[in-house]
Amino acid sequence: MITSLAVPEPENGSLPGFATIFIHPNGEKSLISDIRIPKDSILCGFGSRAILESPNYLTLQVELRKHILLFPEVLQYINHSCEPNVFFDTTAMQLIALKEILPGEELCFFYPSTEWDMDRSFLCNCRTGSCLGLIRGAQYLPIETLTRYRLTDFIKSQLKSVGVGQE
């Protein structure tokens, strides 16, 4: 089942109307690109529809005890991959393409790029060549692994606070 996505046009010149919600036979949802999206494009701005002190499976972490539920809400259907194609910049509050994304590709981000310690760990099934297996949050990954990813300013500050800062 496919549901069209109507993302409100952000004021920052990003790409409105860029994706469709895909509902899998098991009921899980994902966000699929409708258009070619060039690398480094701002897909949309985002905000929070709620701020929580503790994480849940739908939040992005922006500070140690500050986790946001995304607005527009449809962005919650961007799933994890160990080879992500989008990044949630929680400082600029923008969704950014990490590489060129073609129509029909699922939008995915690397959960530990925003999460220090996740509410629910899980076994990744991204099936990529660089799949990390168990995903629990950035604090559980070696710095050699984390340096392969773009990380939020919050995650970078957490790494510095434990003495393994990223350049």
Task: For residue 165, name the pLDDT band (cuts at 50, 70, 90).
Answer: low
The residue extents of the domains of the chain are 2-161
Report residue 27: phi and psi, to 5°.
95, -15
Over residues 133-147, the pLDDT tens digits come to 999 999 999 999 999
Residue 162's pLDDT is 87
Residue 147's pLDDT is: 95
φ and ψ at residue 95, rounded to 5 degrees: -95, 125
pLDDT band at 17 (very low <50, low <70, confident <90, very high): confident
**Which region among 13-17, 26-30, 57-61, 110-114 has the lowest average model confidence (pLDDT)?**
13-17
- The size of the chain, in residues, is 167
Confidence of residue 4 (pLDDT cuts 50, 70, 90): very low
Q: Is 70 exposed, middle or buried (0-12, 13-18, 19+ CB in 10 A)?
A: buried
- Does residue 38 have a cis bond before it (omega within 30 degrees)? no
Quick one: fold of 2-161? Beta-clip-like (2.170.270)
